[in-house]
Homo-oligomer: A and B are copies of this chain.
């Protein structure tokens, strides 16, 4: 049986989502629980994608296979009872055997939170604190240049591998509410560090160090060195993953 889980996590204490040797990751925590549930058989989970150290998720998705057909509510309850309190399974579904939580992704939504008001210790791991005033109109104009289908090589980790850097962004918005800026991005998928590099660049535009139109040139350059500084991971949330 193939199961699909929807889960949220506080990424503050983890070295990211994806399993790595001798690292503390979210995937490790879930697989440890499934190992117990599957009577000490290793169960691999396949998520919609990884998130980096310190990044949070509201609705991450992953699939895994179990021999048994377990009642879904019972399974959800069992997993949660064994998970640490910073990871929570919101939903368990049965899916077709061909379903794949990564390959079948149609759209992903991320949000990025910035606090431009007074520092709040309670939110220290959950927003990027910026004590500067921003030109919001310039940021909004810059967001328009990010929308659409582009080669986003300038906004990802530089490497030499031949990779496809073309992605489509359907939504690139920002909201300002109670001194919090919330960026929201929906796209076919995002490259590694893409959102954080885009946000870092947008903030430089907000600080008037760069102009909104610079986004066009940065995209054309296909060179990471042309974009702005990466924004910290604590402000980033994987909000939703959409399938057919």
Q: Which residues of A contact B (CB under 8 A)?
A: 8-10, 56, 85-88, 90, 118-122, 124, 126
Tell me if B122 and A10 are in contact (CB < 8 A).
yes
Contacts A9-B121, A86-B121, A122-B126 supplied; 15 other A-B pairs, CB < 8 Å: A8-B120, A8-B121, A8-B122, A10-B121, A10-B122, A10-B124, A56-B122, A85-B121, A85-B124, A86-B124, A87-B121, A88-B119, A88-B120, A88-B121, A90-B118
Question: Which B residues are in CB contact (< 8 Å) with A8?
Answer: 120-122
Q: Which B residue sits closest to A56, measured CB to CB?
A: B122
Shortest Cβ distance from A55 into chain B, in angstroms? 12
Closest-by-CB residue of B relative to A125 is: B122
Distance to closest chain B CB from A136 (angstroms): 25
What is the copy number of this chain in the assembly?
Answer: 2
**Roughly how many angstroms separate A121 CA and B26 CA in the complex, as a whole number?**
13
Chain B residues with CB under 8 Å of A10's CB are 121-122, 124
What distance in Å separates the Cβ of A125 from its nearest Cβ neighbour in chain B?
A: 8
- What residue of chain B has the Cβ atom nearest to residue A80's Cβ? B119
**Residue of chain B at shortest CB distance from A87:** B121
CA distance A126 to B86 in the complex (A): 12
A87 to B121, CA, bound (A): 6
Residues of B with C-beta under 8 A to A90: 118
Q: How far is the CA of A118 from the CA of B122 in the complex (A)?
A: 20
Q: Can you show 18 pairs from A to B with CB atoms below 8 A apart?
A: A8-B120, A8-B121, A8-B122, A9-B121, A10-B121, A10-B122, A10-B124, A56-B122, A85-B121, A85-B124, A86-B121, A86-B124, A87-B121, A88-B119, A88-B120, A88-B121, A90-B118, A122-B126
Residues of B within 8 A of A9 (CB): 121
- Closest approach, in angstroms, between the C-beta of A147 and any C-beta of chain B? 28
A118 to chain B, nearest CB (A): 6
